[in-house]
Chain A
Amino acid sequence: MESTPQTLPRDSWTFSPEINAEIRRAADTGIYDIRGGGAKRKVPHFDDLLFLGASISRYPLEGYREKCDTSVLLGTRFAKKPIKLKIPITIAGMSFGALSGPAKEALGRGATLAGTSTTTGDGGMTDEERGHSEKLVYQYLPSRYGMNPDDLRRADAIEIVVGQGAKPGGGGMLLGQKITERVANMRNLPVGIDQRSACRHPDWTGPDDLEIKILELREITNWEKPIYIKIGGARPYYDTALAVKAGADVVVLDGMQGGTAATQDVFIENVGQPTLACIRPAVKALQDLGMHRKVQLVVSGGIRGGADVAKALALGADAVAIGTAALIAIGENDPKWAAEYTKLGTTADAYDDWHEGKDPAGITTQDPELMKRLDPLEAARRLRNYLAVMTLECQTIARACGKSHVHNLEPEDLCALTIEAAAMAGVPLTGTNWIPGQNGF
């Protein structure tokens, strides 16, 4: 029989296989997708910026010979004991409960080896974490799980979490399957129930209250600890300004690529602004208040390598924080567990159902057998190496731009590959002197 010419099957852009799969999943389960990690959609990012390097108009420094300082001092505004870090890269807050004990230990050990700090998360501070972290930032979260004044005093800094890049304005949900007896005890809740992390602090309702809250925390900790305020990247100019007004020593700004332990996919992908778009407004707020470099700015959300670090610093940050990248460095989503990821219906590098507690890498789980797979000493070595590589990369770029300290990087060292990135970063489109949105057009 003679065949009739046929059109090729063609997937719809609007109803793509991924969209259709999600519609079917929602219809089957009756709940939105909850997952961990950060935004997966492509948004303008540091990749869209390039460094100019030095030629005649700028004078470079010799790689491997001329010193390029990477140290950073956080909390110089009010705290009696600011934190001195050897590198401008810190470990972002991730909770015990969301992460296994060995994973938290590895982060503490690795950060300490690299000369930087790590951060607690929802769920409070564990002895292991405090013991293995030379410098530990204690997150003061809306849920106040595990919150107590002894841990406040054991910390080296206090980070008041107001918002998170993955979910500005949103709370979290640690599903019951990850709530072991230890996690439940730390949070004063029964084993096995869904644990909601509140979206707002229960005992203050605005920036004026926050200022008084900070006074209380300082009074309790003898004015020693730097007070960080963490904001999600949504309205960075105003939120930074209000954080400064409230008395922050450090502002932590988390863009939409920032990760989370578990929240709604619709939130992760649709709320907040890309990290790249958030930095300049935050820096502008600090400059307008005369507080740039006096209140330090830590930027997080999708930082992956030394180039990202250098670009964030050039745009005005004092340091960056990494979360997802640190987990990958210690073994999360490692291809060596490929067969097990397949069994879970996913692949290495794409696994994000961290809330289910089945993580083959033993990192985002409380399953005792899976946890044994992570050797905290080896994982710490890997994290130290990764942090060292990022620092070396950042220094290499800074020297090429003629800088003897990574903080001397500046927007003038950058150009943008796309109009969007040029507008967001406030640097010229490459090959031009055009900064979209400035000079009237």
Chain B
Amino acid sequence: MQTVDLATTTLRDLNVALQGQSVSSNQTRWEVLNPKGAHAIAVGLDAPIEVTVKGSTGYYCAGMNKQATIHVTGSAGPGVAENMMSGTVVIEGDASQYAGATGHGGLLVVKGNASSRCGISMKGIDIVVFGNIGHMSAFMAQSGNLVVLGDAGDALGDSLYEARLFVRGSVKSLGSDCVEKEMRPEHLEILRALLERSGADADPSEFKRYGSARQLYNFHVDHAGAY
């Protein structure tokens, strides 16, 4: 186990060390102490290493992650795992706004609640939130899966493209072009696999699926009121 204490080591040195790992590294387990809400912790990683951040982080923790498994024992600030490409990020506490924004791949698990704009513009990432999510989540989400065990706020899935949204609790309101859709066997299977991977204790049959009505995919004046 490699331990880096941010009380005595700079953010730059931490990221240089983590970014310096490769597929063949034998330094596969890292622990970061005293994050104290610092921004940009463990960003741009590209190796199958495990990083545990002992505490809470500021903005953009695990940004653009590839391959790594990053575990935050506290809460995460805005933009956690933004534009993640692959790998896994787990937040034990809550996540602030824009969690998983524009993520292309990998799995983001938030064991607490996520704030507004969770999964905004997601492009292939899978996000599982054990608690609730805030308003405008999955706005313009393109692909991937957003699973919410709790409730969703206003305007869920506004201007959604091909991403799938699964919500167990209530949805305060749906955004433009977002509709409830039939939960077919293939969707239950996708959901079951995501719940299992994230360690969530929930029955897929309790969820509703939401997706794009695809009415706004090509402009037509009769739909202008929806824009």
Give residues in A with beta carbon < 8 Å to B: 29-31, 143-144, 147-149, 152, 173, 175-176, 187-190, 192-194, 196, 198, 202-204, 209, 212-213, 215-216, 219-223
Contacts and interface: CB of A to CB of B under 8 A. Distances in A.
B44 A144 contact: no
A240 B91 CA distance: 37
Interface string B108-127: 00000000010011011000
Contacts of B224: 30
B58 A212 contact: yes
Contacts of B142: 187-189
Contacts of B120: 202-203
Contact of B39 (A29, A149, A190, A212): A212
A31 B221 contact: yes
Nearest to B82: A203
A216 B59 contact: yes
B83 A30 contact: no
B162 A190 contact: yes
B11 interface: yes
A193 B44 contact: no
B219 A215 contact: no
Contacts of A212: 39-40, 58-60
Contacts of B83: 144, 147-149
Contacts of B40: 212, 215-216, 219
A152 B64 CA distance: 10
Interface stretch (B21-29, B96-104, B180-188): B96-104
Contacts of B98: 202-204
Given A149-B46, A196-B140, A204-B79, A213 B217 contact: no
Contact of B102 (A194, A202, A221): A202
Contact of B79 (A31, A189, A194, A203): A203
Given A203-B101, A216-B40, A220-B64, A194 B217 contact: yes
25 contacts: A30-B224, A144-B123, A148-B83, A149-B44, A149-B66, A175-B219, A176-B218, A188-B104, A189-B142, A189-B143, A189-B161, A190-B162, A198-B140, A202-B98, A203-B101, A204-B78, A204-B79, A204-B98, A209-B59, A212-B40, A215-B39, A216-B60, A216-B63, A220-B44, A222-B16
Contacts of A30: 220-222, 224
A144 B102 contact: yes
Given A188-B124, A190-B162, A220-B44, A202 B63 contact: no
A325 B193 CA distance: 53
A216 B159 contact: no
Given A204-B79, A215-B39, A216-B63, A196 B85 contact: no
Contacts of A148: 64, 83, 85, 104
Interface in B73-108: 78-79, 82-83, 85, 98, 101-102, 104
A403 to B, nearest CB: 41
Chain B CB within 10 Å — which of A143, A188, A194, A219 has the most? A219
B139 interface: yes
Nearest to B16: A222
Contact of A149 (B64, B161, B162, B217): B64
Contacts of A188: 104, 123-124, 142-143
B34 interface: no
A212 B97 CA distance: 14
